[in-house]
A and B are shown apart, each in its own frame.
Chain A
Amino acid sequence: MLNEKRVRIVTGHYGSGKTEFSVNYTFRLAEAGKKTAIVDLDIVNPYFRSRELEPQFNAKGVRVISSSVKGLSGDLPALSPEIYTVLQDTSYEVVLDVGGDKVGATALGRYHEYFDREPYDMLFVINANRHLTSTPEEAVRYLRAIETGSRQKVTALVNNTHLCSETRLEDIVRGQELAEKVSSMTGLPVKYIAAERKFADLLPAGMQGEIFPIDIHMKKPWED
């Protein structure tokens, strides 16, 4: 677990849960005592972005880099020059949380020189309960579109199939079948099965990938 290359890029359809996965991954890196940074590269979603958790990240010593325009009401696609710091300073363990769809992924394109120089891992998060990624063919098409938009290659898959608070165990199992089909079509491994902590011990054995227990951080205003 967490043994990806120093720079981890997290992509996926919006609603795949890539932000929740990124946030959990980042907290876990920090808990492992690493010098950690999370880069919120989301230029397409105005709400539910990882930058909303800046105080919680700061409390754990995580560096948060987002827009150069501060404040949650900014919807300018203004990326911070600070992003270069964590790409150049190799003492950081970095998670890049990229906005959904290929338009969101274009934000990555300008950093391609860095990714050409230093190997990275790019995780593609799949939720089988989202339209446009609910069949293997659709999911592969989406994955390829994100690769084109970002000018980078996906290196591994994450099954994060959920229905928010209505998720059932069978959703995760069905999502795993989808992820493993995508894996056989693309040759990419299923690296993680991300599941809410309460499901982590209930999942059947023999699935491709490591179970990654998720604690829900990205909450709606009425959720405790």
Chain B
Amino acid sequence: MAKELWKGNEAIAEAAIKAGCRFFFGYPITPQNEIPEYMSLRMPQVDGCFLQAESEVAAINMVYGAAGAGARVMTSSSSPGISLKQEGITYCAGAELPCVIVNIVRGGPGLGGIQPAQSDYFQATKGGGHGDYRLIVLAPASVQEAVDLVQQAFDMADQYRNPVMVMGDGMIGQMMEPVEFTEVEKRPLPEKTWATTGTKGERQTNVINSLFIDPAECEKHNHRLYEKYKAIENNETRVEKYNLDGAEIVFVAYGTTARIVKNAISALEKEGIKAGMIRPITLWPYPYKAIEEAAGLDSVKAFMAVEMSMGQMVEDVRLAAAGKKPVHFYGRTGGMVPTPKAVVEQAKMILGGVK
């Protein structure tokens, strides 16, 4: 198929349909409205179900229901709406329900604004809802990557029986880029023998639940979940390493911020400064090892995390660098986007300081 021009949100919705998603429950909020709008057009064409719920809380609980019945199901929202969904998300994690949640992040806190942001990093990767649980969090940096990751997200969710979040800043949802829909590599997936599909009198009843009367059982459940999370860490951590060879400064950035940083790296190169970048593609599991390795490189003098936030992912960069090299931060927030020029200036200031 030839390349076409797609708006990020529409492309995400089409990718979900191509991945076999046949249930979508959502509630409108800018800047992700084109996802439910597109789903409302497309789902009837593929005998799927689109439903605009009465609230985000209702939508995520419909996701719980459909996932429990073994369906491929997705919901989408933006920051304030994702906050409302947190209870349902931890229930999905507790009951081990495969589903895909898209967060097209806008400025916060509170209602914030509708311009792009990355200030939901803590919420996505460090809990969000209550209890010991993990979401797989995928962070595309282009519309093409969003399309590829959304399709893979459904397989990951099914393989591990775990919710997967695709998190893009508002720019990912709103910008137009050339896209080619290609088949993603198929994984061998377990049969959903646990789904509540009706016993037909032939088997024991399946129960979807996250309640444990016996605390010892609940602890055991948590241990089992953490074995699963360990496997996800081992198998699914993804990262792009860019221009690290001989780099004096290593940027760490994800999503569209990484595109801005790449531009800054070219500008620095013209001034004779070698800079590289580590771009986490999975925000959980986080690519600690890639940063740890870069911290061990002789050429590297410092790290600089660049985010559309007041500094959230930078904490994971510090954890990984473990004091071997200094970690700096530059960010814009509330819907403001860093410029390549500002990133270049910050980098030069840092290098001037450590030289």
Contacts and interface: CB of A to CB of B under 8 A. Distances in A.
Nearest to B259: A222
Contacts of A222: 256, 259-260, 262-263, 340
Given A47-B170, A163-B178, A222-B340, A134 B30 contact: no
B335 A15 contact: no
Interface string B107-151: 100001111100000000000000000000000000000000000
A114 interface: no
B339 interface: yes
Interface residues of A, number: 23
A164 B175 CA distance: 10
B46 interface: no
Contacts of B262: 222
Interface string B258-273: 0110110000000000
Q: Which of A14, A162, A163, A166 gathers the greatest number of chain B CB atoms within 10 Å?
A: A163
A130 interface: yes
Interface stretch (B2-10, B203-211, B214-222): B2-10
B141 to A, nearest CB: 10
Contacts of A134: 4
Interface string B1-35: 00111110000000000000000000000110000
B256 A163 contact: no
A15 B143 CA distance: 14
A159 interface: no
A165 to B, nearest CB: 8
A131 B4 contact: yes
Contact of A14 (B7, B30, B256, B263): B7
Interface in B165-185: 170-171, 174-178
Contact of A220 (B5, B30, B175): B175
B30 A46 contact: yes
Contacts of B177: 164
B174 A48 contact: yes
A129 B3 contact: yes
B337 interface: yes
Given A15-B176, A129-B4, A73 B256 contact: no
Contact of B3 (A15, A75, A166): A166
Contacts of A127: 5
Given A47-B174, A72-B115, A221-B259, 6 more contacts: A46-B174, A47-B170, A75-B31, A130-B4, A131-B4, A131-B6
16 contacts: A15-B7, A46-B114, A46-B115, A46-B174, A47-B31, A47-B171, A47-B174, A73-B335, A127-B5, A134-B4, A166-B3, A166-B178, A221-B171, A221-B339, A222-B263, A222-B340
Interface of B: 3-7, 30-31, 107, 112-116, 170-171, 174-178, 256, 259-260, 262-263, 335, 337-340
